[in-house]
A and B are shown apart, each in its own frame.
Chain A
Amino acid sequence: MNNKEINSIIIVGGGVTGVTVASAIAKSLPQIKITLIGTGDEKSEVLSMLPQVHEFHRQLGIDERALMRATQASFKLATIYQDWNNPGHRYTQPLGPHGAATEFVGFHHFATKMHQLGDNTAYGEYALSAFAAENNKFMHPKSDPNSIFSTMAYSIHVDAIEYKQYLVNHMLQDNINFNTESIIDVSLDENNGFIKSVTLENGENLKADLFIDCSGKDASLIQKVLGVSLEDWSCWLPANRVLSVSIKSKGEVMPYTQISGKTNGWLRQVPLLNTVEREFVFNSEEVSISEATEIITTGLSQTTFSEPSLREIHSGQRQQHWYKNCIAFGSAAVGFESLEVSNLQLVQLAVQRFINLFPDQSCNQILVNEYNRLTKLELDNVRDYNILHYLSVTKKDSTIWNQWRQHPLPDSLKNKTSLFKIHGQIASSEQEIFLEGSRASTFIGLNMWPDKYDPFLDAFDIENLKQRFNYMRSAIRDTVIKMPGHRLYLEKFYESNS
């Protein structure tokens, strides 16, 4: 009412990050004039999302079926890890929950007890999403709490460039200007150090109230102009390159992302309807491009895959994500390897948070602090979650698997792992992306079983517990047998008009 509201925004970077941010702001604040500068020079990437994507689409009014059909996307029920801790190790991390929880005791405590009693069943057999994924089956969940399908959760695999194009076509029609010129100069306000305007190659000078840096790892505004540096994570997470190819595929469509450990890096496969994206994640000092190329193309015939494309990761997060009148999203804000969380997922969460705290032209420091506080908490959790995946790996011969041993772990991660180790407790922390059950399932998948289960479980009769576990497993099996195959379901889903 007193200060002036924001009327114009310049977003630097027209890639999928910039377009996602523009779409969300344009939907919530259509009165604001948005200019997107720069072409999307993003490298090919397939996004493997979490179920939070549904809420983002709902808020933007996006029809997910239409989006999936237009982009030839696929469903995702889980991530399957192969040869991770050591060759032969395998586990499934589902998007939905395991088993049934009781009031105080998480299901993983029951599983721990059964494990100690000698039950070697894979933990994934107690989760419908996991077991369906392993069998290439898919169906939408049901909300009826009495149906076993209420224990399913899913998300999508979608090509980043197609996704961006869909948003451009459906979300960014009126109040957005696209400008493909590049920026040659940025001028600051002498009084408060705010960004005032950018000058383009053609001489044009563009002013705005707020500047959003979606320029990728170059961070051309937040770092190069405003000097906000990166808090480096590479001492724990040394992967800095991703080489990817797109492979034609006509067979079964995996309803999961697959991650396979290799000697000096890991391979990730993300399926779409008619292609599979294969990526190799590694450290450039350890693996050459030609070695990486060989790893991703092993077993493929020349005609079936695209030209490999390389992208860089700068592992770490911005010291401040929002500084003065500039806010960074995507790789300009944070860099990390995509194990369970993709960078665009974080962009979607962050832009909603930003809109909830939307400033006026003064960019009041109070809002800035609140945004930075919440964002940092969230990203610290993502960092911890990624480092966690390396702690159980027994391959000794490569930096990427062992780098974390050289440095003390973050205190927050130490606390999380020791609490789980003692008796399966999940440390409570703010701004977690994953529910407690998912975090427990990661520990168990990585074979980091707790020493003890919750003492309350001794009240349960063992025979009865065994019966219940057998029942659960067979109910999940019987259900999955009747489910349709993923490809069949997808094709029908795309054909139907309902």
Chain B
Amino acid sequence: MIKNIVIVGGGTAGWMTAAALSRHLPKECNVRLIESDQIATVGVGEATIPVIRTFNAGLGIDEQEFMRETNATFKLGIRFQNWGEIGEDYYHAFGYYGFPINGVSFHHYWMKMQQHPDTGPIHEYNMPYMASVHDKFEHKQFDNDSIESRYFYAFQFDATLYAQYLRKWSEARGVTRIEGKVTQVSQNNDTGFIESVTLESGECIEGELFIDCSGFRALLIEDTLKVGYQDWSHWLPVNRAWAVSSSYENEGTQIPPYTRARALTAGWQWRIPLQNRTGDGNVFSEQFISEDKALDQLLENIEGKPINEPRLLKFNTGKRKKLWHKNCVAIGLSAGFLEPLESTSIALIQGAILLFIKNFPNKDFNPATENEFNQRMDIKYEESRNFLILHYHITRRNDSDFWNYCRTMKIPEELQHRINIFRHRGHIAHKDSDLFIEHSWLEVLFGQGMKPESYDPRVDTVEPQEVRRLLAKMKMDVARAAKSMPTHNETLARYCAGDLISNRISK
């Protein structure tokens, strides 16, 4: 068995990988991580999706401790402003619209009844949506299938602190951290396998398996192994981001249990609330707006005061042609970049780690194993990419060249098929997938104002009166449950806030 594993690069990807390997590999395995204090980590993805909880649970991490140490807040979804059209507002909340009736998804009934004055907007049947609107959060009180329990949550946290937290965790379980910068990579003359990396200090580190977590630099997978990059920027043209942190405006400000994504003229702006500050960033395409103007936009749109110098990140959306090649696997930004609109970056890191562990190689590195991993990762990246493209493409905005481009561009065939099938009958095409459930697609499609031409004909087999009764009850249950929840601030203060935060929140 492979006993000597070298991770190049720390950051979120590096330390998540180190933690998972030290948790699941036999003790004889030697996991070493090389990172340099001189290289800053990117840490764009501070918001997550609910699968992160599976990862933390797999490590046996205590949620309260982890949240306290990373200034984390709860996240019930993402609020999208100005996406369908300027002035529109919707949430992609981690839950469901109502209950299926007779095996048919709720939204088909809603589509039939939407003209009726009592029906109301579809989001009123979505528990985490209504909780988000009112800045509420509480853990599920019952683990059952009641409407009060039909939601999931994720976190917003400081990615740098999360990496530190996992570093402590991993070092306690035998991972060795090596301080230094990699200056040279040696390959076997015959096989091209990586044999060792040399540090600035001259120290040579040998390994049987190398994991490239070097971020955008892609030191091993690209600089050394030259696997090539698949560019997706024609579908996702944003290629720059200005990022800044800002303070909360007032003492006692309600911290929203969601990430905000506000569409601007040539991209969008994130706002990720932590316990002690917010992270803000303008993601834009420099083909459509200058860097200077984008910075002005960012600063105009923040609510508190900036507490650090804005940083500019440059990227090209896409992914490596192969994430695993020879004895090297790329995880994190070295593998590819997708903008943080749906908080997929940490989820993709986690997906890669777990899939890699499941397909952990033997010393002979059989190509079939590598292919299986690469194929599965391609599916995850492509699914996430398609979901992102959806947000840009189904807009009705025509106020800038950027939106005109996105609205009229040709999109991947599989995505077009999904949109068509929804437009025709309100169905979401079936896919065995683990990142976004059917409901996530529905929320964006409905949220951005897309209306199917017809609904599932099984809906007509239920008496309209009965449908009205069921809808009224679901709406009432959601409203009552959301109302009875404590505020997000109250839950944070009780559950996981550091002293400083507790004081501020309680004022």
B360–A3 CB distance below 8 A: no
Can you report 8 A-B residue pairs in the complex whose CB atoms are below 8 A from each other?
A: A1-B454, A28-B461, A359-B425, A366-B417, A366-B420, A455-B2, A456-B360, A459-B25
From B366, B421, B458, contact of A366 by CB (8 A): B421
Residue of A nearest to B371 (CB): A415
Measured between beta carbons, the chain A residues less than 8 angstroms from B359 are: 425
Give per-residue flags for A242-281: 1 if the beta carbon is below 8 A from chain B beta carbons, else 0. 0000000000000000000000000000000000000000
For A103, give the chain B residue with the smallest CB separation: B58
Q: Report the minimum CB–CB distance from A363 to chain B (whole Å).
A: 11
Chain B residues whose C-beta falls within 8 Å of the C-beta of A1 in the assembled complex? 453-455
Identify which of A138-146, A324-332, A367-375, A462-470 touches chain B.
A367-375
Q: Which residue of chain B has the shortest Cβ distance to A423 in the bound complex?
A: B362
Contact A2 B424 (CB under 8 A): no
A459 to B27, CA, bound (A): 7
Please give the residue numbers on chain A whose beta carbons come within 8 Å of chain B beta carbons, in ascending order: 1-3, 5-6, 28-31, 59, 103-104, 355-360, 364, 366-367, 369-370, 374, 415, 418-419, 422-423, 425, 427-428, 430-431, 452, 454-456, 458-459
Contact, CB under 8 Å: B454 / A28: no
Does B358 count as interface, using CB distance less than 8 angstroms? Answer: yes
Please, which residue of chain B has its CB at the minimum distance from the CB of A357?
A: B427
Distance (whole angstroms) from the CB of B234 to the closest CB of chain A: 25
Q: What residues of B have a CB within 8 angstroms of the CB of A29 in the complex?
A: 457-458, 461
Query: Would B458 and A357 count as touching, CB distance under 8 A?
Result: no
Contacts of B102 in A (CB 8 A): 28
User: Is the CB of B409 closer than 8 A to any CB of chain A?
Assistant: no
Q: Which residues 344-371 in B have Cβ within 8 Å of A in the complex?
A: 354, 357-362, 366, 368-369, 371
Contacts of B457 in A (CB 8 A): 5-6, 29, 358, 360
In Å, the complex CA distance between A369 and B372 comes to 26
Asked whether A422 and B368 contact (CB < 8 A) given A358-B457, A459-B25, the answer is yes
A428 touches B376 (CB 8 A): yes
User: In the assembled complex, how far is the CB of residue B329 from the closest CB belonging to chain A, in whole angstroms?
Assistant: 15
Q: Which of A422, A430, A458 contacts B369 (CB 8 A)?
A: A422
Q: Is the CB of A3 within 8 A of B429?
A: no
| Residue among B25, B361, B457 with most chain A CB within 10 A | B457
Q: B145 contacts the other chain (Cβ, under 8 Å)?
A: no
**B360 in contact with A455 (CB, 8 Å):** yes
Taking the closest CB of chain A, its distance from the CB of B429, in whole angstroms, is: 6
The 3 A-B residue pairs whose C-beta atoms are closest, nearest first, are A459-B26, A455-B1, A366-B420
B103 at interface by CB-CB < 8 Å: yes
| Interfacial residues, chain B to chain A (CB-CB below 8 A) | 1-2, 24-28, 58, 102-103, 354, 357-362, 366, 368-369, 371-372, 376, 417, 420-421, 424-425, 427, 429-432, 453-458, 460-461
Please tell me which one of the listed residues B58, B357, B372, B458 contacts residue A425 in the complex, with CB atoms under 8 A apart.
B372
Contact yes or no, A358 B458, CB < 8 A: yes
Contacts of A369 in B (CB 8 A): 417
A359 and B456 CA atoms in complex are apart in Å by 9
Q: How far is the CA of A458 from the CA of B456 in the complex (A)?
A: 52
Interface SS of chain A: helix, strand, loop or mixed? Answer: loop
Known contacts A2-B454, A358-B458, A367-B424: A456-B368 contact under CB 8 Å:
no
B432: chain A residues within 8 A (beta carbon): 428, 430-431
Quick one: closest A residue to B375, CB to CB?
A428
Report A-chain residues with C-beta under 8 Å of the C-beta of B362.
422-423, 452, 455
A3–B454 CB distance below 8 A: yes
B108 to chain A, nearest CB (A): 11
Bound CA–CA A294/B369 (angstroms)? 48
A36 to B431, CA, bound (A): 33
With contacts A360-B454, A367-B427 known, what are 12 further pairs, Cβ within 8 A? Answer: A2-B453, A2-B454, A31-B460, A104-B24, A357-B427, A359-B425, A364-B425, A370-B429, A425-B372, A455-B360, A458-B1, A459-B27
Task: Find chain A residues with CB under 8 A from B58 CB.
Answer: 103
Q: Considering the chains assembled together, what is the distance between the CA atoms of A84 and B285 in angstroms?
A: 63
CA distance A415 to B371 in the complex (A): 10
Q: Across the interface, which residues of A come within 8 angstroms of B430, CB to CB?
A: 370, 374
Q: Which residues of A contact B458 (CB under 8 A)?
A: 28-29, 355, 358
A458 and B362 CA atoms in complex are apart in Å by 12
Give the chain A neighbours of B431 by CB distance below 8 A. Answer: 430
With both chains docked as a complex, state the minimum distance between the C-beta of B90 and any C-beta of chain A, in angstroms: 23
Contact partners of B461 in chain A: CB under 8 A: 28-31
Residues of B within 8 A of A425 (CB): 358-359, 369, 372
Shortest C-beta distance, B484 to chain A (Å), equals 31
Given A360-B454, A364-B424, A425-B372, CB of A370 within 8 Å of CB of B417: yes
Closest B residue by C-beta to A417: B368
Give CA–CA (A470, B73) in the complex, Å. 48
Chain B contacts of A360 at CB under 8 A?
454, 457
A455 to B26, CA, bound (A): 9
Q: How far is the CB of B416 from chain A (nearest CB, A)?
A: 10
The CA-CA distance from A358 to B461 in the complex, in Å, is 14
Contact: B456 with A358, CB < 8 Å? yes
- Residue of A364, A374, A415, A431 with most chain B CB atoms under a 10 A cut-off: A364
Residues in B whose Cβ lies below 8 Å from that of A28: 102-103, 458, 461
> Which B residues touch A356, using CB under 8 A?
427
Given A366-B420, A422-B369, A459-B27, A104 and B358 contact (CB-CB distance below 8 Å): yes
Are B453 and A3 closer than 8 Å at their CB atoms?
Answer: yes
- Closest-by-CB residue of A relative to B27 is A459
Cα A428 to Cα B369 with chains together (Å): 12
Residues of B within 8 A of A2 (CB): 453-454
Across-interface contacts of B372 in A (CB, < 8 A): 415, 419, 425, 427-428
Determine if B420 and A59 form an interchain contact, defined as CB atoms under 8 angstroms apart. no
Q: Is the CB of B24 within 8 A of A456?
A: yes
The chain A residue sitting closest to B354, CB to CB, is A104
Least CB distance from A383 to B in Å reads 19
Once the chains are docked, how many angstroms separate the CA of A105 from the CA of B28? 18
Please name the residue on chain A nearest to B432 by beta carbon: A430
A415 touches B368 (CB 8 A): yes
CA distance A3 to B369 in the complex (A): 48
